[in-house]
Structure 1
């Protein structure tokens, strides 16, 4: 099957729709007729199927794809600070002029983002084909297309570059602007996990992630044949946004609306030791954060042991152990490796390395949730549920979704002064077996609180249209207010 004939249901992005029912989430610059009919005739919002071209039957902006690569790009650095520069590497086919609109994610009166600046009109070129070596795909040899000098007055935060060609094709590049000033909370964006899922180029030929690759007939292969190492030096597949990016954006919009004092960083900052946890009352992990290196875990544990609280608002956190290495040109932390179950050597699951996730989180990954189920409130008298109106046994619809964590009785718990489970929710797994999701909170001997929601649906309930739940909003505020000493 040639690249032009890739069927949507063989798309790597859709292959993960079961894992993350929330996907990329709504973005404010993509409004209008952004709905499409799927194979069953049902209307699908644009963010549920990032492989579809936008407006392909008429004028307007259309999302670039990985087969034709009308416009695709990446940045050659991680997070950057005001006063520093970010280099963009962009391919445009056919060659033509393009521009870059820079948006910052936030509340902004309900808009969800604000346009900060627009580049000059830039000249686009067709960059060389991606290089591949043993399933690792890299575009580190692409020429620089544009340098963004970040003004010193820019706010730190999560940004998205929206690339648009003269003929109306569009793609995205997310990036983070950070600094090292103290704040109440540090939001840690899970860029390592984002890259693990990146199948670029999703072309039926060369693309590979830590989950998938293609065979000679263009069929999607599973983890046994996937990449062992993936590169940050390449665009994200499809629309150019990571598969799970929406979770972080949901939290950001909500937290900025209510005025929390937030600093920003990427997980590679955590890995590289650029984060001093003592500067913050709490570290917040807002989305799917599955891949952790040894230095990441060491920093998080040190933070907890020195009194900095940890807030995990998703599930399946810290499941795989990974390593990071420099790019061929020597830039640190541009290659991500995880051997998973292939070949000789030690396993890659933290729990199989005698370091189960529960020793930090208080709960750990239990499995996928094929269909959403209610979250069942437990210990409703606890302060987390204050002023939520939630009573013991109340069901919060749709809050157990995507993937779920639970307490494993035979697995070591972290050292704690007190510990409580705040939800105990039955759901059916893919085999129809009843399992349970749980939400955990414990206080470490240092006084730090460690909260784990145990479900993918927590952050979307804060500010995702169609998913907002005031009880989850209030509970999250109760938690953060206590961490930030507001309560």
Structure 2
């Protein structure tokens, strides 16, 4: 039986009692933003995550030879301020760097910029979601995120940050000529193309486009700030950590996938299955998770996990042990590896415009204390992409499934009415797998433009239930 939860008395709570700072944002001290075409100041990190005693390096370029500082902030609640300043580097020299051309066969764009600044992670830095803030002497500012992990600490909750999906959507450089991601690239006349122009491989050895915030990064910041404000005992990892086998899932009572976690390797999928078999609860707070099968490969310098490979509809020249890099639901016979087999629901469409979540099973404990009844609507909660239950696909074995919403929406593909489902599966040992099934769920936890008390209460009910001691396990 697992021990009682440490909510309210743990390193995260003590960390969040420190004084917060909002000085990281563009506009403070007269700072200005950046764009890929001018590349006023941009950089990338040598790793997506790092442990105490290890070092992380930043490779930075500027539009002119000058100095730059690197400030490190930890994202959290901090009395609603949202982050804490930890240190700022001495000025470091930066200068213009070449934007590499994409490789003809794969579309890969990888920088070989030298290291500008390195920091060793002190033991006093509590595991979390961190920002490196690059500020040039001429007043421009950009960012890159990373995670500090604590493999030696057994926390109640592990939050996984979806760096593989961040990189899949990274269009750097978004300059009208060079940039590519796993969806699109530029045509010869400088227009944004589609599949014919896209890359099959994308590299972490490049900045994230424009400001340096990955697409949908606010899902992670919203979830982290809410969870830490609620006092949960949480540590953090990146999706690369799952792939590399650094994380033992049995050490955690619950694992939360806070955002859009679309791109999974075989190793990541095996890790997720191992977590369930270990009796660890899983909570997917967004939608369209585990959709594309990927390989993670070494970069040009031999460092592992620096290249995300996904051929999708194109022939995969090196399928490997995990099979070709296609949609998970297209691997194996009779869709036996479809993502619904692990999660209980799966991606079923892109929304033309936001739609309300329509409540089902309102007497279920998830909705307890919300005051909601069957058929009640939470406005605009179903947005961007949605999940639903598909009876023709596999579902988690030996489990009872409850669909907690049935929300009709108009699909942007013109297929008409589609239905979103929020799902909860519980196996015979009491292990829970929750899927919110929409992009706006994590934003509703603390993002000021999406805040919703019903979602906050339901998510608290979920995490608190997951953290209850179990005799079944």
TM-score normalised per structure 2: 0.89
Match of 1:473?
Answer: 456
- 1:417 positional shift: 3.3
- 1:128 positional shift: 3.0
- 1:161 positional shift: 0.9
Match of 2:11?
Answer: none
Match of 1:173?
Answer: 144
- 1:131 positional shift: 4.6
Match of 2:375 among 369, 393, 404: 393
Q: Distance in 2 between matches of 1:222 and 1:160?
A: 31
Match of 2:352?
Answer: 370
- Structure 2 residue matching 1:423: 3-state secondary structure: coil
Q: Distance in 1 between matches of 2:469 and 2:463?
A: 8
Checking the alignment, whether the CA contact within 8 Å between 1:305 and 1:445 is kept in structure 2 is: no
Match of 1:109?
Answer: 79
- 1:421 positional shift: 0.3
* More off after superposition, 380-389 vs 441-450: 441-450
Match of 1:163 among 102, 126, 134: 134
- 1:129 positional shift: 2.9
Checking the alignment, whether the CA contact within 8 Å between 1:361 and 1:452 is kept in structure 2 is: yes
Match of 1:100?
Answer: 70
Structural RMSD (CA): 1.7
Match of 1:439?
Answer: 422
Q: Distance in 2 between matches of 1:357 and 1:192?
A: 17
1:292 matched to 2:264? The reply is yes
Match of 1:452?
Answer: 435
Match of 1:87?
Answer: 57
Match of 1:234 among 206, 209, 217: 206
Q: Distance in 2 between matches of 1:308 and 1:359?
A: 17
Q: Distance in 2 between matches of 1:466 and 1:335?
A: 34
Q: Distance in 2 between matches of 1:195 and 1:28?
A: 26
State how 1:202-281 maps to structure 2 within 5 Å: 202-281=174-253
- 1:344 positional shift: 5.9
- Structure 2 residue matching 1:255: 3-state secondary structure: helix
Distance 1:71 1:482, change over 3 A: same
1:310 matched to 2:282? The reply is yes
Distance 1:144 1:315, change over 3 A: same
Deviations 1:320-362, CA, capped at 9 Å, x for gaps: 0000111111100111100011136746010011311110110
Match of 1:3?
Answer: none
- 1:29 positional shift: 4.1
Q: Distance in 1 between matches of 2:440 and 2:405?
A: 13
Q: Distance in 1 between matches of 2:285 and 2:170?
A: 22
- Structure 2 residue matching 1:109: 3-state secondary structure: coil
- 1:434 positional shift: 1.2
Match of 2:361?
Answer: 379
- Structure 2 residue matching 1:136: 3-state secondary structure: coil
Q: Distance in 2 between matches of 1:420 and 1:325?
A: 38
Q: Distance in 2 between matches of 1:416 and 1:288?
A: 27
* More off after superposition, 232-241 vs 337-346: 337-346
Q: Distance in 1 between matches of 2:258 and 2:440?
A: 11
1:186 matched to 2:158? The reply is yes
Checking the alignment, whether the CA contact within 8 Å between 2:309 and 2:325 is kept in structure 1 is: no
Deviations 1:432-466, CA, capped at 9 Å, x for gaps: 71111000001123421000001111000100102
- 1:424 positional shift: 0.4
Match of 1:404?
Answer: 386
Match of 1:18?
Answer: none
Match of 1:39?
Answer: none
Checking the alignment, whether the CA contact within 8 Å between 2:362 and 2:372 is kept in structure 1 is: yes
Q: Distance in 2 between matches of 1:432 and 1:449?
A: 32
Match of 1:417?
Answer: 399
- Structure 2 residue matching 1:302: 3-state secondary structure: helix
- Structure 1 residue matching 2:50: 3-state secondary structure: coil
* More off after superposition, 444-453 vs 272-281: 444-453
Q: Distance in 2 between matches of 1:442 and 1:474?
A: 19
Checking the alignment, whether the CA contact within 8 Å between 1:421 and 1:439 is kept in structure 2 is: yes
Distance 1:465 1:333, change over 3 A: same
Match of 2:45?
Answer: 75
Distance 1:417 1:216, change over 3 A: closer
Match of 1:147?
Answer: 118
Checking the alignment, whether the CA contact within 8 Å between 1:305 and 1:446 is kept in structure 2 is: no
Checking the alignment, whether the CA contact within 8 Å between 1:416 and 1:442 is kept in structure 2 is: no
Q: Distance in 1 between matches of 2:356 and 2:164?
A: 30
Deviations 1:39-70, CA, capped at 9 Å, x for gaps: xxxxxxxxxxxxxxx79xxx921111111111
Deviations 1:222-249, CA, capped at 9 Å, x for gaps: 1232000011100000101101111011
Match of 1:328 among 297, 300, 304: 300
- Structure 1 residue matching 2:374: 3-state secondary structure: coil
Q: Distance in 2 between matches of 1:301 and 1:474?
A: 28
Q: Distance in 2 between matches of 1:131 and 1:331?
A: 21
Q: Distance in 1 between matches of 2:325 and 2:139?
A: 46
- Structure 2 residue matching 1:63: 3-state secondary structure: coil
Q: Distance in 2 between matches of 1:119 and 1:347?
A: 41
